[in-house]
Amino acid sequence: MLGAIEAGGTKIVCAVAPKEALTQIAERISIPTGTPQETMPKIIAFFKNYQIEAIGIGSFGPIDVDPSSPTYGFITNTPKLAWKHFDFLGTMKKAFAVPYFWTTDVNAAAFGELKHGSAVGNENCIYITVGTGIGGGVVLNGKVIEGKGHPEIGHIYINQLVHDSFEGNCPYHKNCLEGLAAGPAIEARAGKPAQNLAADNPAWELEAHYLAEACVNYTLSFSPEKIIFGGGVMKQAHLFPLVREKFTELLNGYLPISQVDQYIVPCALQDNAGIVGCLALAKETL
């Protein structure tokens, strides 16, 4: 059996699946993120019921992914204070001496989509979730990319449009992509939650423009074969044609992206992208 832990800001999902058929999840639990003292024993108790060969962990970040660092495997600078500087991977290793894959939740989701979702058959993809925040993972040549750290492509700066006077609400950068285009930014401008806005609300045009700018930047920086969107805001299916149209306009023929409707796409695994990705990453360690 393979194990998977998708650690999010509000809940932590654990799952086990056979390595021959890892999308056939045998059991899963969802635990409120709480504090490490409350939550880690529950995670460990769940896996104790199984003969686990390897575990993939996709965590909210930022996290330390540098194997040469003394704090490798730690969650680093999170506003969730109980988890700040917590040795997540080390705590798991003490409980189970198996191979681990340790990366971000969004890198795991990108890998899940590559192996079992919208990017099956590709080697290079980007996964972006547009929800309470904006986060993104990158897979190149079949591997999640990490350098000294990991990508944080939700926080890139983009060109704010002149008629948009919203100052942006990223706690670190104000008007980065997340600060201008995550769900709370849409809500702050409109005075009501994004899910309550009609499809013809001008907010969507603005949203599509910012997401298209981001897609151009990701295209120029990483050369993916697909850009895959997930998260609550992207449940607005009408956003996709708008984003593609503005993307084509902004890229202006510089690179040959021919079938844009197959390039900028919704995620196929929906809420399972992260956990399936963690299982697939666990399998990679064997």
Secondary structure letter of residue 81 according to DSSP = G
Contacted by 176, from ligand ADP, Zn ion, none: CB < 5 to 8 Å by type: Zn ion
Structure tokens at 23: 């999308």
C-alpha 66/C-alpha 123 separation (Å) is: 23
Query: Is residue 266 a contact residue for ligand ADP (CB under 6 A)?
Result: no
Residue nearest ligand ADP by beta-carbon distance: 183
What the block records as the tokens of 224 is: 């993916």
Token pair 């108790």 is found at 45
**Nearer to ligand ADP (CB atom), residue 6 or residue 64:** 6
Site string for ligand ADP, 202-241 (x = CB under 6 A): -----------------------------xxx-xx-----
Interacting residues of 131 by C-beta distance below 8 A, sequence separation 6+: 182, 183, 231, 232, 233
Cβ count near 143 (within 10 Å)? 15
Amino acid found at 153: I
Helix H or strand E segment including 4: strand 2-7
Identity of the residue, 159 or 270, whose beta carbon is nearer to ligand ADP in the bound complex: 270
Q: Does 183 bind ligand ADP (CB under 6 A)?
A: yes
Binding partner at 170 among Zn ion, ligand ADP, none, C-beta below 5 to 8 Å by kind: Zn ion
Interface with Zn ion (CB under 5 A): 155, 170, 172-173, 176, 178
138 binds, among Zn ion, ligand ADP, none (CB under 5 to 8 A by kind): none
Indicate the residue among 73 and 133 with the shorter CB distance to Zn ion. 133
Closest approach, Cβ 84 to Zn ion, in A, equals 18
CA distance 186 to 132: 10
With respect to ligand ADP, which residue has the nearer C-beta, 61 or 73? Answer: 61
Residue partners of 195: CB distance under 8 A and separation at least 6: 232, 235
Structure tokens that stand for 179 in this block: 């600060």
Kindly tell me which residue out of 43, 65, 89, 194 binds ligand ADP, with binding defined by CB under 6 A.
194
The single residue listed with the structure tokens 């306009």 is 249
Pick between residue 146 and residue 152 the one whose CB is nearest to Zn ion. Answer: 152
Is 270 among the residues that bind ligand ADP (CB under 6 A)? no
106 is a contact residue toward ligand ADP (CB under 6 A): no
**Which member of 122, 132, 169, 248 binds ligand ADP (CB under 6 A)?**
132
Q: Does residue 184 interact with ligand ADP by CB under 6 A?
A: yes
272 within 8 A of 107, measured Cβ to Cβ: no
φ, ψ of residue 59 to 5 degrees: the values are -115, 150
Task: Kindly list the residues in this chain that would bind ligand ADP in the complex (CB under 6 A).
Answer: 131-132, 183-184, 187, 193-195, 231-233, 235-236
